[in-house]
Structure formats: structure tokens, C-alpha cells
Amino acid sequence: MAEPILEFDDVDIRYRTDGDDVRAVNGASFAIDEGDYFGLVGESGCGKSTIADSIVGGLDDNGEVVSGEIRFKGEQIQDYSESEFNENVRWKEVSVIPQSSMNSLDPVMKLSEQAVEMAKYHTDLSRPAALDRLRELFDVVGLSESRISDYPHQFSGGMQQRAIIAFALFLQPSLIIADEPTTALDVIMQDQIMDYINGLKDDWDVSMLLITHDISLVFENCDSMAVMHGGQIAETGTVDDVFDRPRHPYAILLQNAFPDVRFPDRELAVIDGHPPQLRDEVDFCTFADRCPWAEPACREGAPPATPVAGDDDHLAWCVRAGEMSELAANHLERSTESTSILEGGQ
């Protein structure tokens, strides 16, 4: 794999409030290689959407990258102004498939007008050329070309989500951030949409940052991934690494908490407690209070990035990462013991 297209290097992000600041992201480091699909998994409030927002300058007014570097194609972008983001990043380079497609399309603008507007601010495409391009993209995502002049409310949820994907492709960006792209959809529709998103890999030469709470979507669609908990990255690596050799307790337990339709009899892992409120200096592991294997060292400093099996691309931010294969042995065995009840596959 080539150069990373996006790198996070020890990034801290804070939201200023009247009281204590909220330290939404702490010491986050990961990299997305060019052409890779990268999954960022975590529960609500873990900071994954904040990370997505920081890449396109979409943080709320009170949000700020306070330290670390965010590099897009080698260029530092964490201190970009609004207009620099508009010039250099937004949509031409990085486009977004937002979480709530239903509310993301301007309700009083025809879809065609929204596309023409994008073309106007970022390209020299003429109006007819922009419309042609939109028709082409509608075709790609499986929408009828004749419907480009519809208003968003004339589309069903699944169709709006496809239109949003078409918009994301409009300027042929090099990175697409998909923030929970299918959360609002039923499972069959979700599968179809993920199929389109997956198909882009072959035809569009694009990288993807897929943000989701659903670890199975990441395992199915991504090349590499990171697991987040309480504003910290817990573990990052290829999906095979994280699935086969998870070494952060949260990454281990999260996988076992996830229902798997192949094994309806398996006991689901329970993760007690909830992540801490990130109001004070985060110089400890935010998972320590929920972790069955926590020791005093976990609360004495932010956990160090520990390469797993000497692989610098598979990192676990855990002081006990080295011991995990013994400590969590019974949790790690799980996939071999039972056999799938589904037909086919494997």
C-alpha cells in the first residue's frame, strides 16, 4: 500500500463550554492508506464523529484541535481557516456521507439545484454539464435519471441515501467520510447501500473513512480499522489483525458483545459501566473503570501505543496488551468453539 492519505498524529480535540472543557478526543493516532477503506468503530459519544468533523473543518464553533497534527496528503490541515477548508479540502478532496440523509438535503431545493450549486463553487462545469454529471451518478447509485429534478421529500429514505452518495462522488474526491451511512435504514436497504459503497472501491479510486457503531459493517467492508472508547483510540490495525488478535480489552469485549446471527446460542459479553465524562485532563485509560483486567498502572497515565506481535501497524493502547492473550484467553477462543448454523459461507 502506498502513502497514507490521512494521518492523525496524537490529536487532542476539545469543546469549550461555560464550565470545564469537554476533551472529546485525546491523543488519537491512526492513518488511512490511499485506496483503503478504514472503519472507525465505537459507541455513541466516544468521539468518532468529532474525528470525522475535524477532518473537514466541521467542528462546532466551540470545538478546536488543541494539539497534534492532522495531515491530509502530507499537508497539515488542523489549523486551516474556514476558507482554506473550502479551497483545499471540502468536497473536492474530502466529501461526506452524513448520518441523517433524511435531514441533510435542503428541503426547499431540487436535487438538481443542489448539484448545480456544488459545481458552481468548486468547478467550471456549466449548468447542463453539472446536470449531466448528476444523471450519470444517479445511474451509478441506482436511481432513475429522470428524477434529478425532484425535491428531497419526494424520495424515500433509501433513495435519499443514494442521492447523498451520488453527491459525495460528484467532484471525484480522494476521501469519502461515511458517518453512520445506514443507521436509519432497514437491514435489506442497508445491505444494498453498503454494496454500492463497497463497489466504489473498484471504480472510483477513492479512500473511505467509515464511521459506525456496527463492528460487523467494518469487518465486512473495510481493510483496516480503529476501535475508539471514551475519546481514546483503543486499537488500530487491519480488520484481520483486530479480529484475529485483538489486544485491547475493549476491542475484545466489544466483539463478543456483538450479536452474530450465526451463533444464536452464544452468551453476549456485557461491558459494565459507561465511559467517563471527559471534563478533566485525560491522563488515564478511559476504559479502566469498565475493564475486568484493570490495574493501578491503567489510571496512572495515558496508555502507550503498544505494537502487537512486533507489527507497527497493529497497535493497542493498553499497558497490559502484551499479557492480553493469556488474561482474556476464554474470550478470545470463542470463534472456534461453535459452528455457524447458517448454510453456505465460510
Taking the least distance from each CB to other proteins, the nearer of 3 and 279 is 279
230 binds other proteins (CB under 8 A): no
Taking the least distance from each CB to other proteins, the nearer of 274 and 299 is 274
Q: How far is the CB of 3 from other proteins (least distance, A)?
A: 24
x/- string (CB under 8 A) for other proteins, residues 116-155? -xx--xx---------------------------xx-xxx
Buried b (16+ CB within 10 A) or exposed e, 10-25: ebbbbbeeeeebbbbb
Q: How far is the CB of 181 from other proteins (least distance, A)?
A: 13
| Stretch touching other proteins by CB under 8 A, among 23-31, 130-138, 189-197, 299-307 | 189-197
Q: Which residue in 10, 75, 220, 300 binds other proteins (CB under 8 A)?
A: 220
255 binds other proteins (CB under 8 A): yes
Q: CB–CB of 13/59 below 8 Å?
A: yes
Q: How far is the CB of 153 from other proteins (least distance, A)?
A: 5
236 binds other proteins (CB under 8 A): no
189 binds other proteins (CB under 8 A): yes
Taking the least distance from each CB to other proteins, the nearer of 19 and 344 is 344
Taking the least distance from each CB to other proteins, the nearer of 67 and 88 is 88
Instruction: Kindly identify the residues of this chain, within the stretch 148-167, that bind other proteins according to CB under 8 A.
Output: 150-151, 153-159, 167
15 binds other proteins (CB under 8 A): no
Taking the least distance from each CB to other proteins, the nearer of 67 and 86 is 86
Instruction: Kindly identify the residues of this chain, within the stretch 45-104, that bind other proteins according to CB under 8 A.
Output: 56, 58, 82-83, 85-86, 89-92, 95-96, 98, 100, 103-104
173 binds other proteins (CB under 8 A): no
> Of 271, 192, 195, which Cα lies nearest the Cα of 227?
271
Taking the least distance from each CB to other proteins, the nearer of 170 and 284 is 170
1 binds other proteins (CB under 8 A): no
Taking the least distance from each CB to other proteins, the nearer of 120 and 299 is 120
Instruction: Kindly identify the residues of this chain, within the stretch 275-334, that bind other proteins according to CB under 8 A.
Output: none
Q: Which residue in 25, 31, 254, 318 binds other proteins (CB under 8 A)?
A: 254
- CA 187 from centroid of its chain's CA atoms: 19
Alpha-carbon distance of 315 to 296, in angstroms, equals 21
| Stretch touching other proteins by CB under 8 A, among 131-139, 215-223, 297-305, 315-323 | 215-223
Q: CB–CB of 236/66 below 8 Å?
A: no
Taking the least distance from each CB to other proteins, the nearer of 163 and 321 is 163
Taking the least distance from each CB to other proteins, the nearer of 204 and 243 is 243
User: Could you tell me the CA-to-CA distances from 303 to 26, 119, 201, 230 in Å, in that order?
Assistant: 11, 46, 34, 13
